[in-house]
Structure 1
Amino acid sequence: MNFPIIILFLLLFFFNPPQKHLIVSSSTIEDTCLDAVCNLTEPVIRFPFQIQSNSSSSCGYPGFTVTCNNRGQTLLNLPQSGGEFSIKEIDYDTQQVWVNDPHNCLPKRILSLNLTSSPFEAVYNQEFTFFNCSVNLEYLKYRYNPIACLSDSNHMLFATASSSVVVYLSSICNVVKKVKVPVAVPFYEHAVSSNLSDNLRLSWEWPQCGRCESHGGRCGFESNTTSHVVCFNDFSSKGISRGAQYAIGVGLGVPALLCFIAILSCLCNKLKILAHRWAWDSQTVPDFEPLISPQQTITLGLDGPTIESYPKMVVGESPNLLPRPNDNTCPICLSEYKPKETVKRIPDCLHCFHAQCIDEWLPLNASCPICRTSPNKLPAAA
């Protein structure tokens, strides 16, 4: 490795000025528009957001005005979405905000969510289908996750993004609405349902202040009489010139770089010495045959012939044709037996399962999934 070339490249990097990003040295706007909070546990509010009646209108961008309620919550108004949402977190670098319902019933707000007239949009949209089911189908609440704040003594509401659950619930429940939800993390197919209580993840495209924030600056209007957004540099506001910034960077960076190179060179020399010793030792030590034979593979489940010997039956038009009339649900996949499905029975305990489910279970577990009885294996062929 050619260390002088690396040093030259890094020195050029330090002395090369960064790209301009509308950085200005100082401003009255920057001095008067200070960070604010509704509560010590709430997110910090600064441009493009501003707390209403807490500063001049030039301290925030249109559409980003927030208020503080009597509980100290920071509220953001989304005009066509039924009013105010509570702000849970703001990431100014990535220009993202997480919101929820201040009254703890976010699914109700989601049903009327409309971001078209706001400066915000979803980072990730996922379609959810809302279902209204009768309480007579009480078993559903054990299989899925009902929305408590929208359910009552007569109906249960569910929301799901799973296509298989949508097909199933459509046959027994009423579809309320299909909604695109700006979820924080996408739900996958195996997540059958959700109460949609997690924060909504939104972002804004303009004003573009993410790069300014990530470089330690603060965004704001250039003056009281213009809508031009600029980046106020923190160093400049403290009276340090840009040339002094580069001098500080070089003064701290070059010695640290030289120290790192010296440590890296020392480590390389140590590794070379260890490599030579290992090569010498490997030549002088004679080869020996391994004294320990490889361990045999231990089979935990049942063998194939034993599993195939278990009796099968095809479910008729009524589940009562099963050996045990009350066993109308497969204990492994928790799905009800349907006509023409193949069911397999364990002879030792007479418990039944879907043939495919038990065929996948027994090679790994030599016991019944319900009573843990260990079935007898077939005798080995002579």
Structure 2
Amino acid sequence: MDILNFLFHLFMFFPVIYTLQNSCQSSWCSENNILIRFPFRLEVEGDQGNPYCGYPGFELSCTNDSRTILTLPYSGVFYVRDIDYLRQYIQVYDPHRCLLNRLLSLNLSGSPFVTGFLTNFTLLSCSSPNIGSQFIPVDCLSNSTHFVSVFPSLSFTNSLPQSCYVIGNLSVPVDSSYQDFFLNNQVSEDFELTWSKPNCRYCELQDGLCGFKSRNSDQVRCFSNHQTNHQTGHSDDDLLISRIIILCVGGTALLFAIGTGCLARYSRRRTISDEPAITITRMGVGLDESTIESFGKIVLGESRRLPGVEHNDGTCCCPICLSEYNSKDIIRCIPECRHCFHAHCIDEWLRMNTTCPICRNSASPHFQ
């Protein structure tokens, strides 16, 4: 029955695996959009989903027009441009197309993200545009009377135009080797955030899938990548066939174990129920062998006449087997009633009964 219980729980575990795989499948805000999978998790409005499928702080959501959103606790909403799971960075941009304004108050506290590289820039406000080629205008911060520009802090000199003043300095998450690209693209709308925990780089290199070791653990491990999605190109049919095979094998094993267990239990019940009956019949109901052997035996002579007045009526056959007595037959008589029988017939009778088969009086001297 231990095998039966093991197979039963093993079989019942397959649907749990199936459910977990389905509930943690990759998702998108729209078809051919950014792939969302562990450590990220997609939250749908009104449905927080399964927290087991994503690492804390990596929650994403979707806009009404199917854009992917990252919300930082102290810096608000950013749109997601791309996620690189191998390099572990997420590329985001400002929905209002004014990244520098957002960077002035960027605060990554309470999130798992950090900036990969920081390059210092200086913001300058002037009363007139086109003050110099080294100054890159920032249109989203400018108006009709104040024109805001940005330039690398390393290029800062104290000799500024009289119509300009420094608004402030800020650290932009961009490698200094890319600062020219950042500036020449009108202060790029995108910047990158990276994370160190959980570290799934090795798993990604093995073409695996990162995930929690268990529901109650905050440690991650690498699983074989059997998940079906458009990015990996794995077939839904292959996954479905594998699950069907597992369920069929498990179901067959379970049914076989149930049948074997029921048969073993039925046999055990028969053994238990039959054994007491034999014991009672042979030991509790009939006479014991020593009492039976105490009853005298004789060998019939040629006249085949039985002893005692009870048989003077010319009885010629055994009342038990109904066979005629023959000379030299061994006869046993019950002392209490003096009825006689073939010895082997009455011995078998008395092993199962305590009364005479003719008069039904007790054959045991202990009950007289």
* Amino acid across the alignment from 1:62: P
Alignment equivalent of 1:145, drawn from 110, 124, 136: 136
Match of 1:107 in 2: 100
- Matching of residues 105-144 of structure 1 within 5 Å: 105-135=98-128, 138-140=129-131, 144=135
Match of 2:51 in 1: 57
> Deviations along 1:264-285, whole A, 9 cap, x unmatched?
xxxxxxxxxxxxxxxxxxxxxx
1:67 is aligned to 2:61 = yes
What is the SS of the residue equivalent to 1:140? coil
C-alpha contact (below 8 Å) 2:182/2:188 kept by paired residues: no
Match of 2:83 in 1: 90
C-alpha contact (below 8 Å) 1:126/1:186 kept by paired residues: no
Change (3 A) 1:154 1:236: closer
C-alpha contact (below 8 Å) 1:147/1:157 kept by paired residues: yes
Distance in 2 between residues matched to 1:193 and 1:125, nearest whole Å: 18
Structure 1 vs Structure 2: percent identity of aligned residues?
36
Change (3 A) 1:130 1:166: farther
The alpha carbon displacement at 1:222 in A equals 2.1
The alpha carbon displacement at 1:141 in A equals 6.6
1:179 is aligned to 2:170 = yes
1:212 is aligned to 2:213 = no
* Pairs aligned (count): 212
Match of 1:203 in 2: 194
> Deviations along 1:236-268, whole A, 9 cap, x unmatched?
9966xxxxxxxxxxxxxxxxxxxxxxxxxxxxx
The alpha carbon displacement at 1:226 in A equals 2.4
C-alpha contact (below 8 Å) 1:161/1:193 kept by paired residues: no
Change (3 A) 1:236 1:120: closer
- Matching of residues 317-356 of structure 1 within 5 Å: none
Distance in 2 between residues matched to 1:149 and 1:125, nearest whole Å: 22
The alpha carbon displacement at 1:123 in A equals 1.3
Distance in 2 between residues matched to 1:87 and 1:77, nearest whole Å: 10
Change (3 A) 1:104 1:188: closer
Distance in 1 between residues matched to 2:28 and 2:176, nearest whole Å: 27
What is the SS of the residue equivalent to 2:203? helix
Distance in 2 between residues matched to 1:30 and 1:149, nearest whole Å: 45
C-alpha contact (below 8 Å) 1:183/1:199 kept by paired residues: no
C-alpha contact (below 8 Å) 1:96/1:203 kept by paired residues: yes
The alpha carbon displacement at 1:102 in A equals 1.4
C-alpha contact (below 8 Å) 1:124/1:182 kept by paired residues: yes
What is the SS of the residue equivalent to 2:87? coil
Match of 2:304 in 1: none
1:157 is aligned to 2:151 = no
Distance in 1 between residues matched to 2:152 and 2:112, nearest whole Å: 26
Match of 2:314 in 1: none
Change (3 A) 1:128 1:232: same
* Amino acid across the alignment from 1:113: L
Distance in 1 between residues matched to 2:58 and 2:21, nearest whole Å: 18
What is the SS of the residue equivalent to 1:183? coil
Match of 2:74 in 1: 80
> Deviations along 1:67-118, whole A, 9 cap, x unmatched?
101121111011122x011110100011111110112111111111112321
Unaligned segments of structure 2, at least 5 residues: 1-16, 229-238, 243-368
C-alpha contact (below 8 Å) 1:107/1:195 kept by paired residues: no
C-alpha contact (below 8 Å) 1:36/1:44 kept by paired residues: yes
Distance in 2 between residues matched to 1:130 and 1:99, nearest whole Å: 22
The alpha carbon displacement at 1:40 in A equals 2.8
Change (3 A) 1:173 1:41: farther
Distance in 2 between residues matched to 1:39 and 1:94, nearest whole Å: 24
What is the SS of the residue equivalent to 2:144? coil
Distance in 2 between residues matched to 1:208 and 1:45, nearest whole Å: 17
The alpha carbon displacement at 1:197 in A equals 2.5
C-alpha contact (below 8 Å) 2:25/2:227 kept by paired residues: no
Distance in 2 between residues matched to 1:229 and 1:172, nearest whole Å: 57
C-alpha contact (below 8 Å) 1:162/1:188 kept by paired residues: no
* Amino acid across the alignment from 2:39: P
